[in-house]
């Protein structure tokens, strides 16, 4: 299949726009939105030599996608100790998160090159990857086209598509059909994703269901000293976590907290927004209702008077899930009929935190359906229902049935990881034979 006209135009435009991209990165660097020491990586200039031997390149867009791969990397290191994994991400927040979650010794992290032919050429010429594996569906035309042109096989794992994303991509149907044709194997999260990839032009014979990789990850890392300090400050104080909330959900969390404190006056809310950049809004919403609000990024300490604690840091969710016995997982309460996408519930379940969520969880629909069927999570549909759930679940006897069901589900949920390992084993073997 020849390169569609639109993709040729895109490539030429990207090359011409390189000076604008450079200026944008310089502005972001000066604003503290990029790491000055590593911006050159985005232009394909590596900060380390390529190790000898096989090297597989994994690309993940940002924090969630990259952290979901860490368990897989640890397993691969045990099976293939001489294999090097090159992990690329695009965001400063992903670098910070990876710093807080120790990378296995066989993993090198680099920033993904910007979408220009010259940056991608420098990157590929330096690293010479034996294969590219894209986590989820972060398809960049120049990345994929130039990689395939060097006869480097491309695979996707943990891939999923919403109906909305399919409809959006079908506006450029020929371009996406071409990009999909470059992918040798697509491992999707669920059966419905098979049909959605086929609509985009993927050959059904190249698609397999692997399950949700995030559901088969190791527990998030602990920060034992910090946790013990916070537990000492909190003592037995009742508390709940609002995790990965969207900016327009924060006022709902505050309203629920107001209602819940009518039954439990000393209840503490730990609010961990999805994006740390929304913390100012989170704090403003909290201060509309509460006087004693503290922010972690400013080093403000919890004390007996703190009513809302804004956990606006990166890579500490393992700490918050361990501190709280109840967590509402954000991005799941529809607002003004706008659909939400849901967030990974298994990180909380693995750490004995009861999951409460709203009804809008399209990115994790299969996972949440299993949780609800087994009684391992609680779905609510309003602020009042959330407040009541937070109050009820402060009682150990109320939490126990959910935890028992969750333990059983988590213990049997490692198959997606095994499927991913099997696929990568085959790639390693094929490259060794080649």
The string of pLDDT tens digits covering residues 386-418 is 999 999 999 999 999 999 999 888 877 778 889
For 5-210, which CATH class?
Answer: alpha beta
Two domains, one topology: 5-210 and 224-411:
yes
pLDDT of residue 214 exceeding 80, the answer is no
Q: Which homologous superfamily is 224-411 in? A: Glycogen Phosphorylase B; (3.40.50.2000)
pLDDT for 339? 66
pLDDT per residue as tens digits for the range 227-269: 999 999 998 899 999 999 988 899 999 999 999 999 999 999 9
In this prediction, residue 291 carries a pLDDT of: 96
pLDDT digits (tens, 9 = 90+) for 9-44: 999 999 999 999 999 999 999 999 899 999 999 999
Q: Note the pLDDT of residue 116.
A: 96
Partners of 269 in the beta sheet? 240, 308
Sign of CA dihedral 359, 365, 371, 375: positive
Separation CA 47–CA 41 (nearest Å)? 7
- pLDDT at residue 73 is higher than 90: yes
- Measured at the CA of 98, the angle between CA 95 and CA 99, to 5 degrees, comes to 85
Stretch 416-424: mean pLDDT, rounded? Answer: 91
> In Å, how far from its chain's centre is CA 262?
35
Which two structure tokens, joined as six digits, stand for 129?
Answer: 């990857």
Domain boundaries, the chain: 5-210, 224-411
Quote helix, strand, coil % in the chain, to nearest 5: 50, 15, 35
- Average pLDDT along the chain: 91
Q: What's the average model confidence in pLDDT over 51-55?
A: 95
pLDDT band at 333 (very low <50, low <70, confident <90, very high): confident
* DSSP 8-state symbol, 335: B
Strands 185-188 and 239-245: unpaired
Report the pLDDT value the prediction gives residue 337, as an integer from 0 to 100: 65
With H, G, I as helix, E, B as strand and everything else as coil, classify residue 430. Answer: helix
The model's pTM: 0.73
- The counts of H helices and E strands in the chain are 19, 14
Task: Give 270's strand partners.
Answer: 241, 309
Per-residue confidence (pLDDT) for residue 330, from 0 to 100: 92
Contact 326, 349 (CB under 8 A): no
How large a percentage of the chain has pLDDT more than 70? 98
């Amino acid at each position: 299949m020849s390169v569609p006209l639109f993709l040729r135009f895109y490539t030429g435009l990207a090359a011409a726009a390189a000076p604008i991209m450079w200026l944008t990165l310089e502005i972001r660097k000066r604003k503290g939105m990029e790491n000055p020491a590593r911006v050159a990586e985005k232009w394909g200039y590596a900060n380390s030599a390529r190790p000898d031997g096989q090297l597989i390149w994994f690309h993940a867009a940002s924090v969630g996608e990259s952290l979901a791969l860490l368990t897989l990397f640890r397993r691969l290191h045990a099976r293939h100790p001489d294999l090097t994994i090159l992990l690329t991400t695009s965001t400063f927040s992903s670098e910070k998160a990876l710093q807080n979650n120790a990378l296995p010794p066989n993993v090198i992290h680099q920033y993904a090159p910007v979408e220009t032919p010259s940056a991608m050429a420098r990157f590929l010429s330096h690293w010479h990857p034996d294969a590219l594996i894209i986590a989820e569906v972060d398809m960049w035309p120049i990345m994929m086209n130039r990689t395939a042109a060097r006869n480097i096989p491309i695979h996707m794992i943990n891939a999923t598509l919403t109906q909305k994303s399919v409809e959006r991509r079908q506006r450029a149907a020929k371009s996406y059909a071409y990009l999909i044709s470059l992918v040798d194997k697509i491992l999707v999260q669920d059966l419905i994703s098979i049909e959605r990839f086929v609509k985009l032009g993927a050959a059904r014979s190249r698609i397999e269901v692997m399950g949700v990789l995030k559901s088969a990850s190791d527990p998030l890392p602990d920060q034992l000293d910090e946790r013990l300090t916070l537990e000492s400050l909190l003592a037995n104080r009742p508390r709940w976590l609002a995790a990965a909330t969207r900016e327009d959900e924060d006022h709902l969390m505050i309203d629920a907290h107001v209602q819940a404190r009518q039954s439990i006056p000393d209840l503490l809310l730990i609010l961990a927004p999805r994006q740390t950049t929304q913390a100012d809004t989170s704090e403003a919403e909290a201060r509309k209702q509460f006087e004693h609000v503290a922010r972690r990024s400013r080093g403000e300490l919890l004390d007996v008077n703190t009513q809302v604690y804004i956990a606006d840091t990166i890579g500490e969710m393992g700490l918050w899930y361990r501190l709280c016995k109840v967590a509402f997982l954000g991005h799941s309460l529809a607002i003004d009929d706008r659909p939400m996408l849901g967030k990974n519930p298994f990180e909380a379940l693995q750490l004995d935190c009861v999951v409460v969520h709203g009804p809008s969880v399209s990115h994790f629909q299969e996972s949440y359906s299993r949780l609800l069927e087994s009684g391992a999570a609680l779905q609510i549909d309003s602020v009042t229902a959330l407040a009541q759930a937070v109050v009820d679940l402060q009682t150990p006897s109320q939490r126990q049935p959910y935890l028992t069901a969750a333990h059983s589900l988590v213990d049997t949920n490692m198959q997606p990881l095994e499927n991913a390992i099997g696929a990568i084993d085959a790639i390693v073997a094929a490259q060794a034979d080649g």
